[in-house]
């Protein structure tokens, strides 16, 4: 049987200030191919080129990747400010309805960083534009200097709900993760269950309550060193198993319905 197709949401980039391309990190495709066991397919973040119904039928699962542009605050009823940074309205228009459709269909997806925030907004939640400006919060942004290895280094602990979905999946109630984001959850969306937190109280892991499929999302970047990292590997393996189940017409696995 061929490997199930996993759509990886791409980001718009401009080469030499003039040539527009859709791009996706090699670490995303590697994690999908080598750990999740899927056939990675980059999805252009242009909704008029990839109609929703076609996407849902073409892919068995989706990865909502990180990206420099942020979800536009108009999507959660707030005015745009300088603190919100850059935007990609085409990606917003593609991903938010796609996430809602996947939740209702029970079709598996994994949200990462911006993708984590997209899931929250798609379900009616809101975001802080700049976490480090909040009292008592840490700076979660990517370190400005150093090698990629140093930028993706493990920087803080994430503590999970005792007996919750992520605790069961990881086999540990706390793990170490990287952190490379500026925004984060302000209010959780409808049915969003926050299941893991950084030491400063920032939401780091969540799922959609009572969803019939895999809806796990994380604020860190598990695609980095996914094959070797003891936190990343079980996450992508569980996602891959859920995608194969979907492709074969099976029900979602019980751990995704636990709370």
Active-site residue set: 113, 221, 223
Alpha carbons 231 and 177: distance in angstroms, whole number? 8
Signed CA dihedral, 145, 19, 181, 217: sign only: negative
Cα torsion angle, 82, 83, 86, 89, sign:
negative
Question: In the Cβ-directed half-sphere of 79, how many Cα atoms lie within 13 Å?
Answer: 2
Please report how the helices 114-122 and 89-105 are oriented relative to each other, as an axis angle in degrees rounded to 10.
70
Please report the DSSP string for 59-78 in residue order.
-SEEEE---SSBPPGGGGT-
């Amino acid at each position: 049987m061929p490997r199930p197709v996993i759509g990886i949401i791409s980001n718009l980039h401009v080469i030499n200030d003039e040539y527009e391309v859709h791009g996706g990190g090699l670490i995303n495709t590697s994690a999908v191919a080598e750990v999740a066991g899927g056939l990675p397919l980059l999805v252009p973040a242009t909704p008029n080129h990839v109609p929703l119904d076609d996407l849902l039928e073409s892919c068995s699962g989706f990865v909502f990747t990180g990206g420099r542009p942020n979800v536009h605050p108009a999507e959660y009823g707030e005015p745009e400010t300088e603190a919100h940074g850059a935007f990609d309205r085409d990606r917003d228009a593609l991903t938010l309805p796609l996430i809602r459709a996947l939740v209702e269909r029970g079709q598996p997806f994994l949200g990462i960083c911006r993708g984590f925030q997209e899931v929250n907004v798609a379900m009616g939640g809101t975001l802080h534009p700049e976490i480090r400006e909040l009292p008592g919060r840490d700076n979660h942004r990517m370190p400005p200097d150093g090698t990629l290895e140093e930028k993706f280094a493990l920087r803080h602990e994430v503590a999970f709900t005792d007996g919750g979905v992520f605790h069961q999946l990881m086999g540990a109630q706390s793990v170490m993760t990287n952190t490379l984001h500026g925004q984060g959850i302000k209010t959780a969306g409808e049915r969003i269950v926050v299941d893991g937190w950084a030491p400063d109280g920032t939401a780091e892991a969540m799922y959609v309550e009572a969803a019939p499929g895999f809806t796990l999302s994380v604020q860190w970047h598990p695609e980095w060193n996914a094959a070797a990292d003891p936190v990343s590997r079980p996450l992508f393996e569980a996602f891959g198993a859920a995608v194969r189940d979907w492709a074969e017409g099976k029900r979602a696995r019980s751990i995704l319905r636990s709370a």
